[in-house]
Amino acid sequence: MTFRIFFPIIILIAFSISISAQSNNETLKIFGYFQNQFEDSGNPRTDERRNSFLLQQLNLFLQRDFQLKWSAFVNFELVNSFSSADRYGAFKLEEAWIKYRYDKRLQVRLGLQIPTFNHLNLLKNRTPLLPYVTRPLVYEESLEDIIVIEEYIPSIAFAQTYGVLPLGSAKFDYAVYLGNSPNLSTLDDRGRSGADTTRTFLVGSRFGVRYQDLKTGISLTHDKVNRFMELALQVGDTLPALEEMQRIRLGFDLEYRLGAFVFNGEYIGVFYDEPTELARFDKSFFYGTLGWQLTEPLMVYGSIWQTRTYENRQAAPGDVNPRPLSQFQTTVQSTSVGLVYQMNDRVRLKGQFVNLDQSNDSPRFTAGTDFQIYSAAISVTF
């Protein structure tokens, strides 16, 4: 009789202890960061300037760890002072994944996620980790309406396995992932589902080595692109000519620390297998940043980045038979200097001067597209 009464009580107590322990270790964590900025920009030749305050970015994370080796992570991102009422800015679900961590050698993430590509792709949205106010162009999410970032870097993957393997006194990092091709349904009349419209996948990887203060790696993605089918009509080719065009993105990244100095650099080459000589889509990007940690909280840096793209233009606008296209190479180059001051573990103050210079080998191109940006920002982690 006593056993009958006490056994359920013991079970209940044991169960409640288990629940309590679980809830201590498995609480839902809510955290994030935001970066507000002030920017004064303009063309120094024309003296036309503008200035503006902006909530450049706010990210809100939800994370829950459970059963020792599992965790779930959600990342909401709002950019450019998002306001649905005023129809500016953007709000998107950046990540929503579940991770299984066997140990540091083998981890698997499933769900919407940012794939590993070069050093900066995973960190590009983590503004508190970066010294920049304006990031190197292909990583600047807030300029996504000006430049198609995904032309250079993979934005989304859905399955990724990664880990760290010991390699003598060095470490070998690897990541292999799978995602959609970039040909997603964005047709309004079909509800902009975001579903892949092709039978091809994005396949990508990064393999890297860390040794003492050196970190380097190479990245590679392969996918097929439909984006240029419109151009096929312009050049009089049949649609399949530019359909599912093979694209390879190749990346190389390097980070080296020497005393108070740190160098970060990257190269990205985007190579298309064009079926026609009438159009060329290859592009490239590199950046290099040298930082100097003057004191524990203060770092100054100088940075340079450059993009090279081809523009495929009609020989004469409005020409009904526009063959051949004219191809012009456009180079956008930025040099910048800046500083970041870490007030405490949560707050960073940033300042940056950027000089942008665009050039084009088109005979109609006229010089004078310099652009200068003075900016200051406060980056807060909460």
User: Can you spell out the DSSP letters for 326-377?
Assistant: EEEEEEEEEEEEEEEEE-SSSEEEEEEEEEEEEEE--TT--S---EEEEEEE
d(CA 140, CA 246): 25
* Contact predicate 81/89, CB 8 Å: yes
Q: Does 177 bind another protein (CB under 8 A)?
A: no
Binding flags for another protein, 27-46, as an x/- string (CB under 8 A): --x-x-x-------------
Q: Does 347 bind another protein (CB under 8 A)?
A: no
Bond preceding residue 297 cis, omega within 30 of 0: no
Q: Segment contacting another protein (CB under 8 A): 96-104, 132-140, 284-292, 305-313?
A: 96-104
Nearer to another protein, 170 or 233 (CB): 170
Nearer to another protein, 257 or 280 (CB): 257
Q: Does 110 bind another protein (CB under 8 A)?
A: no
d(CA 293, CA 295): 6
Give the HSE-up count for residue 131: Cα atoms under 13 Å, Cβ half-sphere. Answer: 24
Q: Does 293 bind another protein (CB under 8 A)?
A: yes
- Nearest approach in angstroms of CB 128 to another protein is 6
Listed residue (71, 115, 75) closest to 91, CA to CA: 75
Quick one: which of 110, 129, 229, 349 contacts another protein (CB under 8 A)? 129
- Nearest approach in angstroms of CB 75 to another protein is 8
Spell out the residues 6+ positions from residue 265 whose beta carbon is closer than 8 angstroms to its own. Answer: 253, 254, 255, 286, 287, 288, 289
Binding flags for another protein, 305-324, as an x/- string (CB under 8 A): --------------------
Q: Does 25 bind another protein (CB under 8 A)?
A: yes
- Nearest approach in angstroms of CB 188 to another protein is 33
- Tokens encoding 181: 């091709």
Spell out the residues 6+ positions from residue 277 whose beta carbon is closer than 8 angstroms to its own. Answer: none
User: Can you spell out the DSSP letters for 61-126?
Assistant: EEEEEETTTEEEEEEEEEEEEEETTTTEEEEEEEEEEEEEEEETTEEEEEEEEPPP-TTTTTTTT-
Nearer to another protein, 33 or 201 (CB): 33
N- to C-terminal Cα distance for the chain?
55
Q: Does 207 bind another protein (CB under 8 A)?
A: no
- Nearest approach in angstroms of CB 129 to another protein is 6
d(CA 327, CA 332): 16
Binding flags for another protein, 321-340, as an x/- string (CB under 8 A): --------------------
- Tokens encoding 315: 């020989």
Q: Does 128 bind another protein (CB under 8 A)?
A: yes
- Nearest approach in angstroms of CB 105 to another protein is 10
Q: Does 18 bind another protein (CB under 8 A)?
A: no
* Contact predicate 308/293, CB 8 Å: no
Q: Segment contacting another protein (CB under 8 A): 12-20, 118-126, 132-140, 227-235?
A: 118-126
- Nearest approach in angstroms of CB 223 to another protein is 24
Q: Segment contacting another protein (CB under 8 A): 11-19, 147-155, 291-299, 359-367?
A: 291-299
Q: Which residue has the tokens 């106010």?
A: 133
Quick one: which of 38, 61, 252, 263 contacts another protein (CB under 8 A)? 61
Q: Does 68 bind another protein (CB under 8 A)?
A: yes
Q: Does 217 bind another protein (CB under 8 A)?
A: no
Rg (CA), the chain: 25
Q: Segment contacting another protein (CB under 8 A): 85-93, 123-131, 238-246, 314-322?
A: 123-131
Q: Does 372 bind another protein (CB under 8 A)?
A: no
Characterise 5 by phi-psi region: left (phi > 0), alpha (psi -120 to 50), beta (else): alpha
d(CA 19, CA 64): 15
Q: Which residues bind another protein (CB under 8 A)?
A: 25, 29, 31, 33, 61, 63, 68-69, 71, 73, 75, 95, 97, 99, 101, 103-104, 122-123, 126, 128-129, 164, 169, 212, 293, 296-297, 342, 345, 381
